[in-house]
Structure 1
Amino acid sequence: MTLALPKFQDIQEAADRLRNVVHRTPVLTSQTLNGRLDAEVFFKCENLQRVGAFKFRGAYNAIARLSKAERAAGVVAYSSGNHGQAIARAARPLGVTATIVMPLNAPKAKRNAAASYGARIISYDRETEDREQVAQALVEKEGLTLIPPFDHADVIAGQGTVAMELLEDVGGLDALFVPLGGGGLLAGSLLSAHALAPECLVYG
């Protein structure tokens, strides 16, 4: 499957979609750290976002973009934690049923959180089973729409609103340091930085 490449316009549209849904998280600074580094450092506090992570942005944006038929059929995601919680939490207000494929040894707190948001949890053994294959089987059997954790244009666009907000709040930056796992947050951050602060160096 070829990934559709998002543009900054997609991030702007995602921001409109997420307005009054996500928290516009605060930007904090530390005088102690600034002094040690001889620089002005800003922290975008996505730990204060819904479900405690930026993942909610991409999850909600992706589900909100589904057709009426896709929403009626439901969504499936594979995750051992934050993406699964985010999909479960985002699906509920949109009236969409969510199925989360989680490993048997996923943190109990994250499993319970996803379930508390109304998601159906499908467990698998990560030593003997492949989570993508488990999810794909559900897509084929039940007609669910798969929303992967990072390699999805609407997920990337939603995650890109983090850097967009940061740059709107503090102005141009010399450098932007982005946590890197699958790359969804980094990809969205690059799009926002290129559009709003083209001289900013982005590190993952």
Structure 2
Amino acid sequence: MSAALPLAAADVYDAQRRLRGVAASTPALSHPTLDDIAGRSVVSKAEALQRTGSFKFRGAYNAVAALSPRERRRGVIGASSGNHAQALALAGRLLGVPVTVVVPHDAPKA
């Protein structure tokens, strides 16, 4: 995975390959009432059905899976008090990578 921006098509295809069989395939949903309110077709991706309940699993898993074996052994550190923390923790568990999540001291207990 290249860290350079803009992303190349190859980066997207690499991510797709890494996520195949790991990330849930979530549906794209529409609703006539929402379409009427917006005055156009509105489609939303049901990422609440994704592992850990958020789209953030896709990014966290892809980033950890793209690490070299040496980088994986060193582990990863993330800062989050919510969805990204859960996503990173699951990605680390699935890939056998040590994960440390730093949570702000004033984060809600929930």
Same fold (TM over 0.5): yes
Matches of residues 110-189 of structure 1 in structure 2 within 5 Å?
Answer: none
Rg comparison, structure with higher value: 1
Counting aligned pairs with the same residue, the percent is: 52
The aligned residue for residue 46 of structure 2 is: 45
Per-residue CA deviation, residues 69-120 of structure 1 (Å, 9 max, x unaligned), is 11111111111211111110111010011000111122323xxxxxxxxxxx
Asked if residue 103 in structure 1 is aligned to residue 104 in structure 2, the reply is yes
The aligned residue for residue 55 of structure 1 is: 56
Corresponding residue pairs, total: 107
Asked if residue 87 in structure 1 is aligned to residue 64 in structure 2, the reply is no
**Match of 1:108, SS?**
coil
Equivalent pair of 1:81/1:107 in contact (CA under 8 Å): no
**Structure-1 separation of matches of 2:14 and 2:90:** 21
**Structure-2 separation of matches of 1:71 and 1:59:** 13
The aligned residue for residue 30 of structure 1 is: 31
> TM-score normalized by structure 2?
0.88
Report how far residue 49 of structure 1 moved: 1.0
**Structure-1 separation of matches of 2:16 and 2:78:** 22
The aligned residue for residue 112 of structure 1 is: none
The aligned residue for residue 4 of structure 1 is: 4
Runs of 5+ in structure 2 lacking a partner?
none
CA RMSD of aligned residues (A): 1.3
**Structure-2 separation of matches of 1:108 and 1:22:** 27
Report how far residue 55 of structure 1 moved: 0.7
4+ runs of 1 displaced by more than 2 Å?
35-38
> TM-score normalized by structure 1?
0.50
Aligned AA (1:4): A
**Structure-1 separation of matches of 2:93 and 2:68:** 16
